[in-house]
A = this chain, B = another copy of it.
C-alpha cells in the first residue's frame, strides 16, 4: 500500500515534469516573438504543437487522476497541510477540466482558431466583418460545446464554464453585478468629464522622444519599482507581453514609438507589474498550484496597480518628472508636474480598447463581456454582432465606429477562442484599487515613499499579500484577506473620482 506521502511526492514529480516541459514552450514562444528568424515560423509551430501535445498527455494521464482521486480524501496535517490541500484541490480541478474535454474538440479548437486568426487579421485589415463571421460562428459553437463538456455549474450558464478557466470561482452573475454597479458610476463621471470642456495637454506626450533614451528609461523604471533584471529581461516586440518561463527567468517586452512617450513607459510599468508577480511566486513550488498565479484578474491587478495607481499618480510624477526631463534633454523644459500629470491622465473616448484611458477602459470591457456572454448563451447571433457592438458603443461613448476594424474586429481574443477572458481585465482594475487602498492604509506614508521613488515596501506588501500564496488562495480569498472586504466597486470608483474630478474641475 502506498502511503499518502508517497503518492503526494509522485504527484509533485508528475506535475513538475509537465511544468518543466511547458516552460520549454514558453521560451520558444518568447523567442518566436523576439529573435526567431522569419523562415523559422513553420518549424516553430511544429515544436510548440509537439510540446503542447506532450504536456496535455501528461496533465491528463490516468495515473495523475488516480493519485488525485486517492489524495482528495486524505486529511493532511502538519505545517504544509494547507499547501498540500490546495495543490491537490487545484490540480484536481485542472485535471477534471482537462479530461472532460474530448480530444477531438481540443484539436478542432486548435485547428479552427489557428485558421480563424488568419481570417480575423485579414478581416480587420479590410474592415470587412463578413470574412470573419463564418469563423466566429464555428468558434462560438465549439466554445458552447466546450462549456457543456466541462460542465455548467448548478444554477449557472454556459459562459460560467468558460470564465472558470481564467478566473476560478467567478460567475457571470456576480461579475455582471459588480460591473453594473461600476457602470452606473462611471457613465456619469465620463459624462461630467466630457461636459467640463477641459482638455488635458496630451500633446506634451507626442513630442520627439528618442528611442535610445526611451529604452534606457524603460529599463530604469522597471528596475526602480523592483523588477529583478538578474532574473529577467526587457525586449522589443510588436505586441507587448510578459512571459514567466520558470524560476529566475521572467521576460517582459514593450514597443517604442518615437512620437509617443506613453507606449513604452506605461507599457513597461504594466508588464513589469506582471513580471514582479511571477518573480514573487515561491520558486520552490514551481510546477505546482502553490507556485502558480491564482487568476488572470489578480495578474492584471498587479500590472494595473503599477501602471495606473502608482505610475499615473501625482506623487510619482512629483518625484520622477525631473529624471524624465533630464533623460530627454530639451524636450520637457517648459513642462511642470501639474501639466505632465494632467497629460498622462487625459480622458478621451476612443474606439480602441488598448489605447483607452482609466475611465473609459472599463466600459470597453463591459461591452465585450455583455456581448460575448450573449453570443455564448445564444441571445446574440454572430450575424447581429457588428450592429450590437456599434449601438452599444454609441450609447456608452457617444460615437459610432467608422468600420468594424475599429469595432468588433479590433481584438484578437475571439478569433483565438478566448471567451471569458475580457472580464479579467476589469476585475484586475477593481482588485488593483482595492489592494492599493489596503496598502495605503497599512503603509501609512505610501504616497511619500512613492514621491521619493521608494517602492520596496509596497512590493514587499504585495509579495506577502498576493505573490507568495500562488493558488493556495483564490482571487476572492486574497482580496478578502488583504483588504478585509470582499470585492467591491467602491475603491475603483473612489480612485477614479478622486483622480479625475480635480483634473477636470468637476
Contact = CB atoms under 8 A, between A and B. Distances in A.
Interface string A230-266: 1111010000000001111100000000000000000
A24 B28 CA distance: 7
A245 B247 CA distance: 25
A155 B229 CA distance: 57
A36 to B, nearest CB: 6
A201 to B, nearest CB: 38
Given A27-B31, A50-B17, A43 B233 contact: no
A28 B25 CA distance: 10
A445 B40 CA distance: 35
Contact of A44 (B28, B39, B40, B249): B249
Interface residues of A, number: 37
A38 interface: yes
B248 A41 contact: yes
A398 interface: no
A230 to B, nearest CB: 5
A286 interface: yes
A37 B229 contact: yes
Interface in A15-74: 17, 20-21, 23-25, 27-28, 31, 35-44, 46-47, 50-51, 54
Of the listed residues A31, A39, A229, the one surrounded by the most CB atoms of chain B closer than 10 A to its CB is A39
A396 interface: no
Contacts of A25: 24
Nearest to A32: B27
B37 A249 contact: yes
Of the listed residues A40, A233, A247, the one surrounded by the most CB atoms of chain B closer than 10 A to its CB is A40
B40 A245 contact: yes
A24 B23 contact: no
* Secondary structure of the A contact surface, majority rule: helix
A348 interface: no
Contacts of A20: 43, 46-47, 50
Nearest to A49: B20
A128 interface: no
A194 to B, nearest CB: 46
A43 B228 contact: no
Contact of A43 (B21, B28, B37, B247): B247
A242 to B, nearest CB: 14
Contact of A40 (B39, B41, B42, B248): B248
A230 B28 CA distance: 18
A303 B27 CA distance: 29
Nearest to A36: B249
Contact of A247 (B42, B228, B249, B286): B42
A23 B37 contact: no
Of the listed residues A23, A35, A286, the one surrounded by the most CB atoms of chain B closer than 10 A to its CB is A35
A39 to B, nearest CB: 3
A43 B299 CA distance: 22
Contacts of A232: 37
A477 to B, nearest CB: 29
22 contacts: A20-B43, A20-B46, A21-B50, A24-B25, A24-B50, A24-B51, A27-B47, A37-B230, A37-B233, A37-B248, A38-B248, A39-B228, A39-B231, A40-B247, A40-B249, A41-B248, A43-B246, A43-B249, A43-B286, A44-B249, A46-B246, A54-B54
Given A24-B28, A42-B247, A43-B246, 15 more contacts: A20-B50, A24-B50, A24-B51, A27-B27, A31-B31, A37-B230, A38-B248, A39-B247, A40-B247, A42-B248, A43-B245, A43-B248, A43-B249, A47-B246, A54-B54
